[in-house]
Amino acid sequence: MRKFFSNRRLVILVLILIACFGLMAGSVSMRNRRNTPPLIQQFGNDIVGFVDSVVAIPVNAVQGGFSSVGQLMDTYSENRELKQQVTELAQTKVRDQTLAKENKELKQELKLNKSLTDYNTITASVMMRTPSSWQKQLVINKGQSNGIKKNMPVMSGSGLIGRISEVNKTNSKVELLSNTSESANRFAITIDGSNGQTVNGLITDYNASTGELIVGQVSSKAKLKKGTKVMTSGMGGVIPRGLYVGRVTRIGKDDYGLAQKVYIKPAANMNDVNIVTVAEPA
């Protein structure tokens, strides 16, 4: 039998292995350091993104058709409930407008131009999801040319779902909160305690089995109630204040019993995302 690993084959195999791991390590570290990938990679992404939309748009349309048939079934009961909510919503909306106006005037009085709560939104639709068990990542159809920058927070429907991890000219990648990599879910959050105190903290982990976000190292002694709403705190620059994250589900002690750990149930379902909103600090 012929020797399988002849000298030439072995050399080629080693070269391929080196190239493979070199490229992988290079692109992983590049991704963490740079704001945008190299131009050629962006270019490739843009072209492929264009071709992808040819496949993605029909698939999304078909899925939209199926889900609208499904929704038709419970239209009647939903409609009754929603009608009640609409009357309340109109009131809230008017009040909201008045408050926003007042807020603006007061800010002018104080000569405060911008605060952490000001942000604009960019709406994008999801083109595809990485078919991988280890990367919880979406590709959306807006990019640099629409004003998207790396690390901007991404929301879907009811709450925060992740952050922008790679920006190309016409599309970008979103890392979901449920991703296990180290940088995906580090969001600065704030929670109102029951006695007027607030707790500030940083999301440090995601528990996949319960679907909960974990805020580690909370040293504040403020009392937190189950079900309290959690928002981003706006500290750290890129992320505006007041984006809804989820609700507190339970409070525990950390491994050494010194600090508190707060568990948060995210408001958005990260497995059911079609349209996303990217928040851009004003």
Partner 1 sequence: MYRLSRLKYIFPLGLFISLFLDGSLSSVWAKFFFSYPYSMMSELVLLWLVFSYYFEEDIEIPLIPFAALAGIVFDVYFTGILGLDIFLFPLIVELTKILSRYFDQSFLTVIMIFFIDIVVFVTLTYWAYLLVGITHMNVGDYLVYTLAPTLAVNLVYFVILYWPIQSIYTWALKQKNPKRD
Q: Please name the amino acid found at residue 120.
A: N
Q: Which of 45, 144, 156, 232 binds partner 1 (CB under 8 A)?
A: 45
- Minimum Å distance from CB 15 to partner 1? 11
Q: Which of 1, 5, 51, 81 binds partner 1 (CB under 8 A)?
A: 51
Give residue for tokens 């994008």. 124
Residues in 147-166 at the binding interface with partner 1, rule: CB under 8 A: 165-166
- Minimum Å distance from CB 154 to partner 1? 14
Contact predicate 167/150, CB 8 Å: yes
The pair of structure tokens assigned to 270 is 């990260």
Of the listed pieces 41-49, 145-153, 223-231, 235-243, which binds partner 1 according to CB under 8 A? 41-49
Counting residues that bind partner 1 (by CB under 8 A) gives 51
Which of 175, 193, 187 is closest to 215 using CA atoms? 187
Burial class of residue 192, CB neighbours in 10 A (0-12, 13-18, 19+): middle
Q: Which of 11, 28, 100, 275 binds partner 1 (CB under 8 A)?
A: 28
> Which string of x and - marks every residue 104-143 that binds partner 1 (by CB under 8 A)?
----------------------xxxxxxxxxxxxxx----
Which of 144, 173, 178 is closest to 161 using CA atoms? 178
Q: How far is CA 7 from the centre of its chain?
A: 49
- Tell me 194's DSSP state: T
Query: Is residue 196 a contact residue for partner 1 (CB under 8 A)?
Result: no
- Minimum Å distance from CB 2 to partner 1? 13
Q: Which of 10, 25, 89, 99 binds partner 1 (CB under 8 A)?
A: 25
Which of 131, 153, 116, 135 is closest to 244 using CA atoms? 153
Query: Is residue 209 a contact residue for partner 1 (CB under 8 A)?
Result: yes
The pair of structure tokens assigned to 261 is 């750990």
Dihedrals phi, psi of 216, to nearest 5 degrees: -90, 170
Query: Is residue 26 a contact residue for partner 1 (CB under 8 A)?
Result: yes
Q: Which of 11, 12, 14, 23 binds partner 1 (CB under 8 A)?
A: 23
Of the listed pieces 46-54, 72-80, 93-101, 240-248, which binds partner 1 according to CB under 8 A? 46-54
Contact predicate 43/37, CB 8 Å: no
Contact predicate 137/177, CB 8 Å: no
* Pair type for strands 229-233 and 188-192: antiparallel
- Minimum Å distance from CB 151 to partner 1? 15
Query: Is residue 48 a contact residue for partner 1 (CB under 8 A)?
Result: yes
3-state SS, residue 65: helix
Query: Is residue 63 a contact residue for partner 1 (CB under 8 A)?
Result: yes
Can you give the binding site for partner 1, defined by CB under 8 A?
16, 19-28, 31, 37, 41, 44-45, 48-49, 51-52, 54-56, 59-60, 63, 126-139, 165-166, 173, 180-181, 208-209, 211, 271-273
